[in-house]
Amino acid sequence: MRIRVQVLIESDQEATSPHVEEVACFERDQLSPETLGLRLDEAKHLLAGVQQVMTAQQIEEYVEQQRQCSHCGQPLACKGHHQIGVRTLFSKLTLSSPRLYTCACQPRKPRSWSPVAALFPERSTPELLCQEVRWASLLSYGVTVKLLSDLLPMEHQLSTSTVSRHVHQVAERLEGELGDEQSSFIEGCPDQWYKLPEPAAPLVVSLDGGYVHARSKECRKDGSFEVIVGTSTTGEGATTRFGLVPGYDTKPRRRLFEILRAQGLQMNQAITFLTDGGDTVRDLTEGHSPQASHILDWFHITMRLTVLNQMAKGVSGEHKGEQFFLELERVKWFLWHSNVYKALQLLEWLELDIDAQASPEARKLAKTLHEFEQYIRTNQSSIPNYGDRYRNEEAISSAVAESTVNQIVSKRFVKKQQMRWTRRGAHLLLQVRTGVLDDTLTATFQRWYPGMETGESPQEPALAAS
Ligand SMILES: [Zn+2]
């Protein structure tokens, strides 16, 4: 059999007869699994064909409406024609547009203009932009191009540089919506805070640092630079992710504050910050609320203790003290109960017991143990009674399920070792990626382009059309 697909376009003007055009024809013989319904290449051909006919009519109608001055209604003279390329999800369109002279009643405007070019300043449809950016935040630019062109009729129109340019463009638009940076966002005085309504449960903000490979020699530490990622979680469990590149980002505090505000933060509401204790992340914990407290994330303590335990397995008992493992367990117990004094004392003794000269492993263990002791000493004011908090179901760690760094950074930025980033590129991609992981990017696009919002599902075909 032969299947012919026609597009029928009915104009709103009743007098004109419908425009009918054939867009595809498929042949089918014997039914087999391979010939049931449409093949991908046929579907792509069909989509592109339908859109070709559809857009030609749309443009024709639009151009017709533009031929009169919108102010005085005088017909506009035509200066010539030209073509404009517009990228869509279903192929790149070449649209033909007249160049019209500006009406004499508008002396301040340029002498001529192209109505079609003026309608598509971005030369891409918002939906294409949204899909490009969405997939590019989850997969590499190269895989994104491949995925979209494999499934959609958009061969030869996308390149990795276009995708990365679009990601930057969208992220910069988001960045442009962020207000000015301030050293503090605390407003009002205790008297006013006292009169506020009963606050919601504390917001829990976890902040963590990670590293990504740098593209150029612009940065410190064996060709990598730091990124900060975090989550803010309400009492009801609603989580918002965020990320930034310190040093590149000029508004880190504002960025975080807008998230807290969107989650309903009021000045008498507590915020618990959980961090790894690093300077850059600690700096971000200040200036958001008079009720903020900072806690060293228990996850980071246990992680360091696990590393120490592993290392100690490579050092014989006589070189590290026979009770090493037991004593390290006691350190953990003291820290769990906020007894920092005892924990530090014990750590010092453990250090003394190690014979650092005995082997390279022993020297490494001594060094790591010393670093851990310094870490606890520096952060001692941020070590609460984790045991009490745990029993009261208060936050002690952010890394219960999966670490934020792993989720936001590792999966997209560092999995492939050859992937290298500029600070700008990483920062901008983080803005889009957190939006995609939080499932807010589509809503953002719909806010920017209200026409994107899909109302009802497409109508069933009218009987008369068959
Ligand atoms: Zn006019």
Q: How far is the CA of 62 from the centre of ligand 1 (A)?
A: 18
Q: How far is the CA of 100 from the centre of ligand 1 (A)?
A: 12
All residues with CB under 5 Å from ion ligand 1: 69, 71-72, 74, 103, 105
Whole-number average pLDDT of the chain: 89
Q: How far is 281 from 228, CA to CA, in rounded Å?
A: 7
Mean pLDDT of 233-246: 92
Q: How far is the CA of 112 from the centre of ligand 1 (A)?
A: 13
* Phi, then psi, of 50 in degrees rounded to 5: -60, -45
* Phi, then psi, of 201 in degrees rounded to 5: -55, 155
Closest CA to 268 of 358, 163, 196: 196
Q: How far is the CA of 434 from the centre of ligand 1 (A)?
A: 48
Q: How far is the CA of 68 from the centre of ligand 1 (A)?
A: 8
Q: How far is the CA of 75 from the centre of ligand 1 (A)?
A: 8
The string of pLDDT tens digits covering residues 97-156 is: 999 999 999 888 888 999 999 999 989 999 999 999 999 999 989 999 999 999 999 877
Q: How far is the CA of 116 from the centre of ligand 1 (A)?
A: 19
Q: How far is the CA of 282 from the centre of ligand 1 (A)?
A: 61
Q: How far is the CA of 416 from the centre of ligand 1 (A)?
A: 59
Closest CA to 132 of 79, 186, 171: 171
Confidence of residue 220 (pLDDT cuts 50, 70, 90): low
The string of pLDDT tens digits covering residues 226-238 is: 999 999 999 898 9
The string of pLDDT tens digits covering residues 13-60 is: 777 888 999 999 999 999 999 999 999 999 999 999 999 999 999 999
* Sign of the CA dihedral with 361 first, then 367, 370, and 375 last: negative
